[in-house]
């Protein structure tokens, strides 16, 4: 008896599997949750299957209805449509290779972007041409337009014709010696008017150089020890008011930030020497090469004369 039940059970299971496979292969199983009222197809092929107590689907009514449709219309049986598509089905909707089509779309977008950029440059070029007062902007815009259009030879020609607009800008030098004078009676701007030897000395017009006769700094004659062995190296004295390149011979009598208080046999004067002031000390004996124009004095070079040996000198800068 047990064997008979096992045989019948096996037969039942085989039949169930065959029917279930046949139903799946023909697309007869539909998930009713996949459709809303608006999404249901109009061909009338959707059918809600019923299930018995064993969970077996009953499609007899569906088969009967579809057989009648086939007989009336004398058409072949059509598989019911589903509400989803596999990735291969979606891919099949795209003509040609998906990768090639995607690449083509990207190329179209790139071309459109380049066209938009070219149109912007053309409009800008038109506006600049109407103004006509900014040649550099016109040349640069035309150069960018050639680049967008791929006219590389025209780009080279434009650079050759207007090299001044394509030369990299030289960065502004960093000023280490800011022109911040100490609190003194006379401000000496740092400015070089000529190279050494390029100017000949000439007597200044007194109206061009105004002396503060009430200033002790300008009028007092202090005793100062200057070895005579180096006096021949000087070409002028401060009080002579000579203009041009000249050499002063004297001592440092004071230092304040980037300035030195310099004294020769005729007069004393504040000179801006920049960072070189850090290497100088009070009492140093100097040969100072300067350019002078009016009341403007520029220090070109400083040579410190060593007192220990008359011929030993050190160049400060």
Q: Examine the pLDDT at 265 and tell me if it is beyond 70.
A: yes
- What percent of the chain has a predicted confidence (pLDDT) above 90? 17
Spatial distance between the Cα atoms of 144 and 165, rounded to a whole number of angstroms? 13
Task: Note the pLDDT of residue 193.
Answer: 33
Q: Is the pLDDT of residue 95 over 90?
A: no
Model confidence at 228, in pLDDT bands (50, 70, 90)?
Answer: confident
Nearest to 200 by CA among 238, 242, 237, 160: 242
Q: What is the pTM of this model?
A: 0.33
pLDDT in tens, 41-76: 444 445 555 666 666 666 666 666 655 544 444 444
φ, ψ of residue 290 to 5 degrees: the values are -130, 160
More confident of the two residues 214 and 255: 255
According to the model, what pLDDT value does residue 306 have? 59
pLDDT number for residue 305: 85
What pLDDT score does 100 carry? 67
pLDDT at 176 over 90: no
Contact status, residue 191 vs residue 298, Cβ threshold 8 Å: yes
- Higher per-residue pLDDT: 43 or 148: 148
More confident residue, 256 or 38: 256
Q: Is 80 exceeded by the pLDDT of residue 211?
A: no
Over range 255-284, report the average pLDDT: 91
Phi and psi (nearest 5°) for 141? -65, -40
Q: Which residues of 196-210 are buried (b: 16+ CB within 10 A; e: fewer)?
A: eeebeeeebeeeeee
CB 148 within 8 Å of CB 121: yes
Asked if pLDDT for residue 135 goes beyond 70, the answer is yes
- Residue percentage of the chain with pLDDT more than 70: 49
176-185 contact pairs (CB < 8 A, 24+): 176/274, 176/275, 177/258, 177/272, 177/274, 177/275, 179/272, 180/257, 180/258, 181/259, 181/270, 181/272, 182/256, 182/257, 182/259, 182/270, 184/256, 184/259, 184/270, 185/212, 185/215, 185/217
Looking at residue 6, its pLDDT comes to 81
Per-residue confidence band for 114, with pLDDT thresholds at 50, 70 and 90: low
The mean pLDDT of the chain is 68
User: Which residue segments constitute the domains of the chain, with CATH numbers given?
Assistant: 2-86 (no CATH), 98-165 (no CATH), 202-208+225-315 (2.40.50.140)
pLDDT score, position 189: 39
Residue 152 in this model has a pLDDT that exceeds 50: yes
pLDDT-wise least confident of 96-110, 187-201, 227-241, 265-279: 187-201
């Amino acid at each position: 008896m047990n064997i008979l039940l096992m045989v019948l059970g096996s037969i039942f299971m085989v039949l169930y599997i065959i029917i279930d496979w046949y139903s799946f292969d023909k697309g007869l199983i539909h998930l009713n949750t996949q459709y809303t009222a608006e999404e249901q197809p109009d061909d009338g092929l959707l059918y809600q299957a019923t299930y018995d107590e064993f969970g077996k689907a009953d499609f007899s009514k569906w088969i009967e209805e579809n057989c009648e449709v086939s007989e009336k219309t004398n058409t072949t049986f059509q598989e019911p449509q589903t509400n989803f598509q596999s990735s291969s089905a979606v891919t099949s909707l795209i003509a040609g290779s998906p990768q090639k089509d995607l690449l083509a779309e990207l190329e179209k977008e790139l071309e459109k972007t380049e066209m938009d950029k070219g149109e912007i440059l053309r409009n800008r070029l038109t506006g600049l041409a109407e103004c006509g007062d900014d040649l550099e902007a016109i040349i640069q815009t035309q150069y960018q337009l050639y680049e967008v259009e791929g006219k590389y030879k025209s780009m080279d020609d434009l650079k050759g014709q207007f090299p001044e607009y394509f030369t990299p800008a030289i960065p502004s030098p960093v000023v280490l010696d800011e022109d911040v004078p100490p609190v003194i009676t006379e401000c000496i701007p740092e400015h070089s008017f000529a190279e050494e030897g390029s100017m000949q000395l000439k007597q200044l017009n007194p109206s061009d150089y105004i002396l503060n006769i009430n200033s002790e700094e300008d009028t007092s004659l202090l005793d100062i020890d200057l070895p005579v062995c180096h006096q021949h190296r000087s070409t002028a004295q401060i009080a002579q008011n000579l203009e041009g390149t000249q050499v002063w011979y004297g001592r440092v009598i004071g230092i304040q930030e980037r300035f030195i208080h310099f004294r020769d046999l005729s007069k004393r004067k504040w000179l801006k020497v920049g960072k070189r002031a850090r290497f100088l000390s009070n009492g140093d004996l100097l040969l100072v090469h300067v350019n002078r124009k009016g009341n403007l004095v520029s220090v070109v070079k400083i040579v410190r004369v060593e007192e220990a040996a008359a011929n030993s000198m050190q160049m400060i800068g």
